[in-house]
Amino acid sequence: MAAISSVQCLFSCDSHHHQLVQSGSLWRLGSRVLVSSSLWKRSQFSRGDSLRRRNLICAVKGDAEGAFKKTVAIDRMIDALQDANPRELEQLVVENILAFDEVFWIRLAARSDTCKSDDDKKDYEELAATVMSIVDCVVNKTREKIETSTDVLKGILRPVVEGVEEISWPPRDPEAINQMENEIIQREKEGQLDEGFLSEVSAQLRQAKEDKEKPGLAAMLQKVLQLYAATILSKRSYAKKGNEVVKAEYFLETLIKAPEEQWNKLFLDGLTIGKGEIAPDELSSVIKKRIERTLIRTEGGSYQQRVLIEYLKGIESRATEILKLIQE
C-alpha cells in the first residue's frame, strides 16, 4: 500500500501545483477572485482609495503606455458587460475568464467612483456581484472536474500500484498492465476519459518527468496515455475497402493495438526490410493519412488531438529508427 499512498500524495499535492494546466489558470484565477472580491467589498467604492488604485494599475503594468492600453481594453470589456443581457453576460464572462484579474476589479471600482448618481453606482455594484458569481461558479466546477479526473486516474493506476512498496516500471506482475488496459477501455465507454482527464494525466506526467526520483511514475503515466490512444484509434478501422484488405492499413492497426515493447519485432516481421511485405513508404503513407483523419475528427489544440497524434508519430519515429539501424 506504500506505493499507492505515494501516488495519492502526489495527486493531492501536485494536481494543485500544476493548477489545471490550461484549465489550471482558473485555479490561479480562483485565488485572484478571492482577493479581488474582498478588495471590492473593502473599497465600497471609496473615493479616498481611488488615487491609490489608479497608481497601482500603473505600477502593475510598469509603464504609462502599457497601463493605458490595458485600461482601454478593460473599459471595453466593462461596457460590453453592461450592455449584455443575462445570457450574453454569462457567455462573455466564461469566454474571457482570465480577464477578470485584480486589475479588472480595480478599474471597475475606479469607474464606480466617478459616478455622479447613486443609481449608476448601484448598477456597477450589481454588475460586480453578477460577474463574481459567474467566475466563482466556473472555478468551482473546474475544481470539481479536476478532483473527479484525479479519482479516475487513481482507479486506472490501482492495478499496478496497489500492494507495491515502491513504484517501478514495468510492474512485476504483467497481468497488472492488462487490468490497467481493461480499466481504460471500460472508463472510456463510460465517458470518463474526457479533456479534464487527459489534462490531469499530462500535467502529472510533466511533474513526474521533472522529479528525477520518480522515473517509474513517469513511465506509468506515459503508458496510460499510450493505452488511451490505442483504445481511441482502434475504434475505427480503415483496413478494408469493399472485400479487399489494405495490407498497410491492417499492419498499422496491428501496431496501434500492440504494446510499444512489441513494435520492434512487428516492424522486422511485417516490413520489407525484414521478413514482411509492407514497404516502409507504404507504412509512412498510411500513418500520414491516419494523422490527417485524426486532425479532422478531433478538436484543434485539444489534449485528445495531441495524445493521438503523438502516438501515431511515435510509431512513425520508431519505424524510421529501425530502418536506419538496418541500413547501417
Between 33-37, 88-92, 303-307, the lowest mean confidence (pLDDT) is in 33-37
Could you tell me if 101 and 190 lie in one domain? yes
Could you tell me if 277 and 201 lie in one domain? no
Which of 201, 233, 265 is a domain's end point? 233
Per the structure, the count of domains in the chain is: 2
Task: Give just the sign of the alpha carbon dihedral 69, 71, 75, 81.
Answer: positive
Task: Give the pLDDT band (50/70/90) at residue 83.
Answer: very high
Question: Residue 147 has what pLDDT?
Answer: 67
Per-residue pLDDT for 31 more than 50? no
Question: Residue 56 has what pLDDT?
Answer: 54
Q: What is the pLDDT of residues 103-158, one digit of tens each?
A: 899 989 998 888 888 888 888 889 999 999 888 887 777 666 666 888 899 999 98
Task: Give the pLDDT band (50/70/90) at residue 216.
Answer: confident
Task: Give the pLDDT band (50/70/90) at residue 279.
Answer: very high
Could you tell me if 18 and 101 lie in one domain? yes
Could you tell me if 309 and 243 lie in one domain? yes
Could you tell me if 57 and 114 lie in one domain? yes
Could you tell me if 155 and 255 lie in one domain? no
Angle between helices 86-95 and 118-161 (to 10 degrees): 50
Per-residue pLDDT for 167 more than 80? no
Per-residue pLDDT for 33 more than 50? no
Question: Residue 14 has what pLDDT?
Answer: 42
Q: Residue 316 is part of which domain span?
A: 236-328
Question: Residue 238 has what pLDDT?
Answer: 93
Per-residue pLDDT for 98 more than 60? yes
Percentage of the chain exceeding pLDDT 90: 38
- Do residues 142 and 27 make contact, with C-beta atoms less than 8 angstroms apart? yes
Question: Residue 290 has what pLDDT?
Answer: 96
Could you tell me if 258 and 216 lie in one domain? no
Could you tell me if 150 and 246 lie in one domain? no
Task: Give the pLDDT band (50/70/90) at residue 20.
Answer: very low
Give me the mean pLDDT over the 190-219 stretch.
87
Task: Give the pLDDT band (50/70/90) at residue 193.
Answer: very high
Could you tell me if 59 and 128 lie in one domain? yes
Between 113-117, 157-161, 166-170, the lowest mean confidence (pLDDT) is in 166-170
How, if at all, do strands 240-241 and 244-245 pair? antiparallel
Could you tell me if 170 and 300 lie in one domain? no
- Between 232 and 142, the more confident residue is 232
The rounded mean pLDDT for the chain is: 80
Which of 233, 266, 282 is a domain's end point? 233
Question: Residue 160 has what pLDDT?
Answer: 83
CA distance 253 to 69: 53
Could you tell me if 303 and 166 lie in one domain? no
Q: What is the pLDDT of residues 49-75, one digit of tens each?
A: 555 555 555 555 456 777 888 888 999
Question: Residue 38 has what pLDDT?
Answer: 43
Question: Residue 62 has what pLDDT?
Answer: 53
Percentage of the chain exceeding pLDDT 70: 77
- Do residues 19 and 207 make contact, with C-beta atoms less than 8 angstroms apart? no
CB atoms within 10 A of CB 120: 13
What residues contact 213, with CB distance under 8 A and at least 6 apart? none
CA distance 184 to 176: 12
Give me the mean pLDDT over the 312-320 stretch.
95
Could you tell me if 215 and 269 lie in one domain? no
User: What is the reported pTM?
Assistant: 0.60
Map the chain to HEC letters: CHHHHHHHHHHHHHHHHHCCHHHHHHHHHHHHHHHHHHHHHHHCCCHHHHHHHHHHHHHHHCCHHHHHHHHHHHHHHHHHHHHCCHHHHHHHHHHCHHHCCHHHHHHHHHHHHCCCCHHHHHHHHHHHHHHHHHHHHHHHHHHHHHHHHHHHHHHHHHHHHCCCCCCCCCCCCCHHHHHHHHHHHHHHHCCCCCHHHHHHHHHHHHHHHHCCCCHHHHHHHHHHHHHHHHHHHCCCCCCEECCEECHHHHHHHHHHHCCHHHHHHHHHHHECCCCCCECHHHHHHHHHHHHHHHHHHCCCCCHHHHHHHHHHHHHHHHHHHHHHHHHC
Which of 198, 233, 268 is a domain's end point? 233
